Amino acid sequence: MISSAVYGIEALLEGIAAALSGFGYKVWMSHNGSIPVHPKKSNFANCLEAVKRCDLFLGIITGRYGSGQTAGELSITHREILAAIQQDKLRWFLAHRDIITARLVLRQFRAESGRWHRGFRLAENPVLDDLRIIDMYETAIRQELELGHRTGNWAQSFVHSDDALNFVQEQFGDIGRIKEILREDGE
Q: Could you please report the per-residue DSSP string of 119-176?
A: T--PPP-SS-S-THHHHHHHHHTTTTS-GGG--S--EEEESSHHHHHHHHHHHHS-HH
Q: What are the backbone dihedrals phi and psi of residue 57, each rounded to the nearest 5 degrees, phi first?
A: -130, 125
Q: What are the backbone dihedrals phi and psi of residue 185, each rounded to the nearest 5 degrees, phi first?
A: -80, -5
Query: What pTM was estimated for this model as a whole?
Result: 0.93
Q: What is the mean pLDDT of each run of 10 residues along the chain (187 residues)?
A: 92 96 96 94 94 97 84 90 96 97 93 86 90 95 91 94 97 96 85
- pLDDT, tens digit, 9 for 90 and up, residues 43-57: 899 999 999 999 999
**CA–CA gap between residue 124 and residue 42 (Å, rounded):** 30
User: What pLDDT was estimated at residue 181?
Assistant: 95
Per-domain residue ranges of the chain: 2-184
**CA–CA gap between residue 96 and residue 105 (Å, rounded):** 15
Query: Which residue type, as a one-letter code, is found at position 36?
Result: P
User: What pLDDT was estimated at residue 138?
Assistant: 95
**Mean pLDDT value across the chain:** 93
**CA–CA gap between residue 157 and residue 144 (Å, rounded):** 20
Query: Which residue type, as a one-letter code, is found at position 107?
Result: R
User: What pLDDT was estimated at residue 68?
Assistant: 74
Q: How far, in whole angstroms, is CA 177 from its chain's centroid? A: 22
User: What pLDDT was estimated at residue 69?
Assistant: 60
User: What pLDDT was estimated at residue 70?
Assistant: 67
Beta bridge partners of 132: none
User: What pLDDT was estimated at residue 111?
Assistant: 87
**Top CATH class, 2-184:** alpha beta
Q: How far, in whole angstroms, is CA 153 from its chain's centroid? A: 11
